[in-house]
Chains A and B, each alone.
With several copies, the nearest count.
Chain A
């Protein structure tokens, strides 16, 4: 197949070329031409033939699978360490984690993971989450030392801090959040409380302002809490069955 005369290129072929990252232009040139990646086409003939073959393959539907357009960065669970506590599942804002048919935590949506972000491995109380392409151990899969385990034991335990069942708390908060938020929205007292808390928090944990500022919107918080609750309940049910 060759694409030559002006006006002879069907939209489907143009779309296929665009999908492959080519730029396609129709110009009022003396010689009818289609520009591909800024070059007149077909020129050189070899390149044109290659592109035509690719387009042919696209049209026939047997184009080769394109090379990975994604840096493979995602958590890998060390099941010898994992206790199925689900903290990673409730932590991740991007639904990378899921629960298997037998109620076991698993990495389900690898491509949702934010490249170079190893945050979920930091909340795991068992040093069970690895990112093979991470720079440092033990997150990169290097052996877990006694020091690593001790450090993890000192981590803030989210559930304990919030006084027990994290999921019922989230559910509770989710139900009350909307009314509370709208009530306090314009309230001078609430602003004061926030300010005191932020300052205390900053001092106690050394939290930079930019992290405090990264809090998601109320809508996102509610949606996330609800999703986490549902997934956790589903996981409990499944685990109870087995």
Chain B
């Protein structure tokens, strides 16, 4: 699978309640309300277990909004599609929705 353009991959963490709801929903609301393109998936863990080939499509320069970087890297690696260098992982278990969106939206666009 060829890498595509840099983008935003958002994990909804459908099967667990480990991401604070205000962060998970807050980030999604801001994404939906923005002009940014994004790819929202139900659950990266589930995709990793299925070795979903779409995991190979995350291109350098992309941002992955999910959980701890070490875990996210491990999930891509286990699926046989290690993340390329230059992908920024944003952790919804540690930051607030505002903090996460600040590092994604173009300067001045964060509401």
Contact = CB atoms under 8 A, between A and B. Distances in A.
Interface of A: 7, 9-11, 14-15, 18-19, 21-28, 35, 38, 68, 70-74, 76-79, 106-107, 110-111, 130, 132-135, 137, 140-144
A112 B37 CA distance: 36
Contact of A25 (B40, B44, B77): B40
A13 B35 CA distance: 17
B84 to A, nearest CB: 16
Contacts of A18: 12, 14, 40-42
Given A72-B46, A73-B15, 17 more contacts: A7-B35, A11-B31, A18-B41, A19-B12, A21-B14, A23-B41, A25-B39, A26-B37, A35-B39, A38-B54, A72-B48, A72-B49, A130-B71, A133-B45, A140-B93, A141-B68, A143-B70
Contacts of B42: 18-19, 21-23
Nearest to A115: B15
A28 B33 CA distance: 15
Contacts, number: 114
B23 interface: no
Most chain B CB within a 10 A radius of its CB, from A21, A35, A38: A21
